[in-house]
Amino acid sequence: MTPEKIEAFRAAADGWLNEAQRVELSQRIRVDAAFDATYMYCRVVLAGADEKLEHPHQEVLTGAAERLGWSPQVMATARQYLEEWHAPFRGDNRYDALVALALRLKAAVAADIKTQH
């Protein structure tokens, strides 16, 4: 993956995180945006190792946790959200956990922790 594409993913993640924090939006939109931010930060962490996957994919979440040296359990809320991707009535009670995870990933990406080969 090119550095430009990685930076585009990082910018997209930052945009989704900003959207997730806009209190005037509905809770559902904010939860979706928090997940999207989390997922895109994971793609930055993987730096192209996920390019052959059909997205969204669980391995992006688990792969990012592994690359960062984090317990796979850290991604539990995001994995659950993804499992219910097509459910018409997903629970919106994951907002706090997803935003916290997105912020943690953002910090890891900003520090370039294990994101480069």
* 35-74 confidence digits (pLDDT tens): 999 999 999 999 988 888 888 999 999 999 999 999 999 9
Q: How far apart (Å, rounded) are the C-alpha atoms in residues 38 and 45?
A: 11
In whole numbers, what is the pLDDT of the chain averaged over residues? Answer: 89
pLDDT the model gives residue 84: 85
Per domain, the residue ranges of the chain are 3-110
* Band of pLDDT at residue 115, cut at 50, 70 and 90: very low
Mean pLDDT of 10-18: 97
Q: How far apart (Å, rounded) are the C-alpha atoms in residues 49 and 47?
A: 6
DSSP sequence for 14-49: HHHHHHHT-TTS-HHHHHHHHHHHHHHHHHHHHTTT
pLDDT the model gives residue 7: 93
**pLDDT exceeds cutoff 80 at 116:** no
Instruction: Indicate the Cα dihedral angle 66, 80, 100, 92, nearest 10°.
Output: 170
